[in-house]
Amino acid sequence: MALKYKRILLKLSGESLMGDRGYGIDPGVLNQFAEEVSSVLSLGVQVGIVIGGGNIYRGIAAAADGVDKVVGDQMGMLATVINALALQNILEKNGIYTRLMSAITMEEIAEPYIRRRAIRHLEKGRVVIFGAGTGNPYFTTDTAAALRAVEIKADVIIKGTRVDGIYDSDPEKNPAAIKLPEITYMDVLQKDLKVMDLTAITLCRENKLPIVVFKMTSPGNLKRVVTGEGIGSTVLQS
C-alpha cells in the first residue's frame, strides 16, 4: 500500500483519553488508539506521539486556584507523563515496541529525550512517546509536538481530535460551521482558528511542516490519513 507519510508525529489531547468520562483515562479509548497505531505500523510508518495532560491536570486545577503559573505548567508536564505511561502500557500489551522519552529527567520510568536516540528508535520500528512537553513552562504540548516533529524530521503532524477537520467556527457549538479541507498557515493565524497555538503554527510554517487535523475516534482514520485518502483538513503553505 502506497504511503503519503512515512514518519509521523501524532498529537493527541489529554481530553481525548477521557472518552465519555469527566476526567481520567478510559481504557476503551486507549485500546482503540493502540489499534490505530498498530494499523499504520504494519504498513511501515514510523510513529512518534505527543500527548497532552488536560484530562488530569485540569481536574486538579479546578480545585487549586492561585497556583503559580510555572508550578501549574510543571504539574501539567507531569500529567502528560502519566498519560504517556498509560499509552505505553496499552501499546506494549498489543505487542508494539515502544520507548517513552521525557523532557524532564526521570530515569526510573523514562529515557531522557535525546534527538539522535529518538530517531534511531523510530528507524528500528519502535513507537516513541514524547512526555513532559518541552520541559519548560509557558509552552503547550502543541508547541512540544511541533518542536519534536521538526527535530525528528517528521513528514507531518497529525492531530487527532473529536471533530473531522478544521472548521470556520466550532462545529460542536455551531451546526452551520463550514469545513475547510485545506487551509494555509497564514489563514489559520489571521482567522484565529484554534488548530494549534501561535508558537506551534509559526514553527510549522517556518519549517514547511504540514498539519493534518482529523477525527481520531473513527476506526481506520489514521490509516486513511497516512495513505493519503484525503480525510480531515490539511494546513499547508500558500
Handedness of CA 134, 136, 141, 146 (dihedral sign): negative
Pairing of strands 233-236, 211-215: antiparallel
Residue in 46, 74, 43, 75 with CA at minimum distance from that of residue 59: 75
State the average pLDDT over residues 157-176.
Answer: 90
Q: What is the pLDDT of residue 164?
A: 92
Q: Hey, how many other C-beta atoms are within 10 angstroms of the C-beta on 153? A: 12
Average pLDDT across the chain, whole number: 93
Q: Where are the beta strands (DSSP E) in 179-238?
A: 182-184, 211-215, 233-236
pLDDT of 22 strictly over 90: no
Q: Name the residue with higher pLDDT: 94 or 172.
A: 94
State the average pLDDT over residues 152-170.
Answer: 93
The x, y and z cell numbers of residue 54, run together, are 488536560
Segment 75-110, tens digit of pLDDT: 999 999 999 999 999 999 999 999 999 999 999 999
Q: What is the pLDDT of residue 194?
A: 86
Does domain 7-228 match CATH 3.40.1160.10? yes
Q: How far is CA 149 from CA 73, 92, 119, 158, in A?
A: 21, 23, 11, 10
Q: What is the pLDDT of residue 21?
A: 83
Q: What is the pLDDT of residue 62?
A: 58
Q: Name the residue with higher pLDDT: 172 or 18.
A: 18
Q: How confident is the model at residue 64 (pLDDT cuts 50, 70, 90)?
A: low
pLDDT of 162 strictly over 90: no
pLDDT of 238 strictly over 80: no
The model's pTM:
0.94
Segment 114-140, tens digit of pLDDT: 999 999 999 999 999 999 999 999 999
